[in-house]
Structure 1
Amino acid sequence: MILFKYRSIEFPNNDETFSENFLRDVKCLLFDQIWFSSLKALNDPFEGVFKFDRSISKMMKGFKKDLDTNKIERAKDNYLQLLKDNSGILSLTTDNQNLLMWSHYTNNQKGYCIEYDFEEEKFLYANKIKNNKNDISLKKVLYSDNYVRTNILNNDYQLIFGNKSRCWSYEKEFRFISKNIGLHKFQNGCLKAIYLGADCDFVNETLISSIAYLKGAKVYKAKLFKDKFKLYFLPYDLDALNKNINCKNFVQQAININLENN
């Protein structure tokens, strides 16, 4: 499935050429890694909210009078809170031309957008062993005006991670949900293309393009139409770039790493 990830580029406050966060991100591109965030780190304060549907509890109470449904609900609530605190979320989108997301998530076109071909089985542990499918799953985000409802019989805990306010619907979001927060490895070849923002700094885009060349991915540069609110993308000549600067040497020097040992 083709999905996109928008990334911003922070500029260093010192004499360094690249910021620490940007260097971390380009190393992830280079070594087939991606970050799964905690719910608390996401930009929506309503992440993971839910409401108990107590009609099921009342129905079960009718069948068994001595059933302590309040205790079961508290246990379910504690379990869901524990999952919310420990689960990792990778937010992606099907749209790489959304002007709002280019503004919000790429520092006003100074960043870039990554194209991946992702499925659950494309993710690997750092030791190259395939994840169990229960460990990472893909979910399409649903948008509504109300909190998602759960009950004491509902085992789909991922439901609470994939429901957002309708005002976010423009993001067309898909989410990978993991039982772990932090870096996750994925199979080589999932990185398909990188789209550079219209105002991406020349040195930054040279580093990104050089890494794309090494990974066998394509690069495009965003341009603004002169007569309508829309972007178009021009292909980058990566072969010409490599002839001019030697992409491997440039990457090694830029991020101070020896690629022969990785």
Structure 2
Amino acid sequence: MELKMGFNQFNNIVEKEGLDSAIKYKNEYIPKRLFQYNALLDKRYNNYIEKNEKRLESLKENKIYVTNYRCFNDPFEFEMLSVDMDKLQKENYDIKEIDKFLNAFKNKILVACFTTINDNMPMWAHYANNHKGYCVEYEINNTEKIYPVFYEQFRNNNSKELTNMVRELYDYYSNLNNHKEEFYKIFSYFYLSLCCKNKFWEYENEYRMLYKTDEIEVNTEKVIKIEDEDMNVKSIYIGYKCEDDYVNELINISKKIKCNVYKMDFNKYGVDYKLISKQI
């Protein structure tokens, strides 16, 4: 079941029925199983063996990477909202401080990206190093931190609403006021904007886990335990061009963490350009 609504529709539910209702509605439509593509690098990359072993070790230990948005392949991540800085400046807000606040907020949110598709050729090429990597199927037992990516043609340019939102957030964190319902609504609006992308990316059918960190120094990525997020590995899908040594290592990992393992293949005699999976 897929969530059939856009960013503004979600926020309409927040406005009319409250944040709890919107989150509950969202949770009902989050898939119970999601996939994540992982690259295994080759000699074109510096320290590729060390990086590959580090990633495989995290899989073996039932851990997952959450990443800063600046590491993503889309340079326009987290840029859904267009804020009228001129208006804020006329109200004597310090624009540099607001920019600093917005960037700090974005940097506190780390992301793990998933999809509902495990046989998408472009995604195997882009995110699994040209089919040399692997794809992990996760069972999602708690959907609270999982959000659908909303694909929009245009950025939200409701400057009045967005400017009010930034003002409220900035004032809240500056003055440390008590939480109010209106604050939660505004916060959710900003939070959900982190899950908006241009419609160009719609083929990925992406879902995101948003992980808030309170660390002062935010690294580009962090490894967390999947059991803490109420997730577990169901299956590993090995890429069509994965090297034999890594194939064997992934099979051994599947035995250790007790999950299914498949090898991706191409049906040479079929009429479609389609990947198929064969259980090992």
Q: Could you state the TM-score of these two structures normalised by the residue count of structure 1?
A: 0.71
SS in 2 for 1:178: strand
Q: Distance in 2 between matches of 1:35 and 1:210?
A: 21
By how many angstroms is 1:74 displaced? 7.4
Picking from 10, 33, 38, the partner of 1:2 is 33
Q: 1:13 to 1:100 in 2, by over 3 A?
A: closer
Determine if the alignment matches structure 1 residue 221 to structure 2 residue 263: yes
1:94 partner letter:
T
By how many angstroms is 1:76 displaced? 5.7
Q: Is contact 2:236-2:262 (8 Å) kept? A: yes
Equivalent residue, structure 1, for 2:187: 155
Q: Distance in 1 between matches of 2:44 and 2:130?
A: 19
Determine if the alignment matches structure 1 residue 145 to structure 2 residue 145: no
1:92 partner letter:
F
By how many angstroms is 1:179 displaced? 1.4
Structure 2: give runs of 5+ residues left out of the alignment. 1-31, 166-185, 214-220
SS in 2 for 1:190: strand
By how many angstroms is 1:21 displaced? 1.0
Instruction: Report which stretch shifted further, 175-184 or 40-49.
Output: 175-184
2:110 partner letter:
G
**Which has more helix, going by share of residues?**
2
Q: Is contact 2:140-2:231 (8 Å) kept? A: no
Q: Is contact 1:119-1:138 (8 Å) kept? A: no
Equivalent residue, structure 1, for 2:108: 86
Q: Distance in 2 between matches of 1:151 and 1:120?
A: 33
1:170 partner letter:
Y
1:162 partner letter:
C
State the number of aligned residues.
209
Q: Distance in 2 between matches of 1:29 and 1:98?
A: 22
Equivalent residue, structure 1, for 2:42: 11
Q: 1:164 to 1:206 in 2, by over 3 A?
A: same
Which protein has the larger Cα radius of gyration, Structure 1 or Structure 2?
Answer: 1
Q: Percent identity?
A: 26
- Larger relative contact order (Cα-Cα within 8 Å, sequence gap ≥ 6): 2
Structure 1: give runs of 5+ residues left out of the alignment. 59-67, 122-132, 237-262
